[in-house]
């Protein structure tokens, strides 16, 4: 329902950075919560926010592989 199957992963220039930042933020959040370090949880939230904001960069949503139908002749 929410997954766009027409995007190609190799045309997504920021995918690796989004995954890296998400993993780093998630790990820091878990460690910060387990040690009750509010500053570490805040840093983790900032990293997760940065990973989310990558989608605002050019190409951040990935390129669509669907092509417009050619106008002109039919057949």
* Domain ranges within the chain, ordered by starting residue: 16-56
Greater model confidence, 12 or 15: 15
**pTM given for the model:** 0.65
Residue 74 to residues 16, 60, 67, 69, 70: CA-CA distances in angstroms? 41, 35, 16, 10, 9
Q: Please state the rounded mean pLDDT for residues 34-44.
A: 97
pLDDT score, position 49: 95
pLDDT score, position 54: 86
Q: Name, of 13-17, 41-45, 49-53, the range with top average pLDDT.
A: 41-45
Q: Please state the rounded mean pLDDT for residues 46-58.
A: 89
Report residue 23 as tokens: 């993993």
């Amino acid at each position: 329902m929410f997954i766009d199957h027409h995007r190609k992963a190799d045309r997504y220039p920021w995918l690796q950075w989004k995954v890296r930042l998400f993993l780093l933020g998630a790990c820091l959040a878990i460690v910060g919560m387990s040690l009750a370090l509010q500053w570490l949880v805040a840093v983790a939230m900032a990293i997760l926010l940065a990973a989310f904001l990558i989608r605002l960069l050019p190409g951040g949503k990935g390129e669509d592989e669907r092509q417009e139908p050619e106008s002109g002749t039919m057949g």
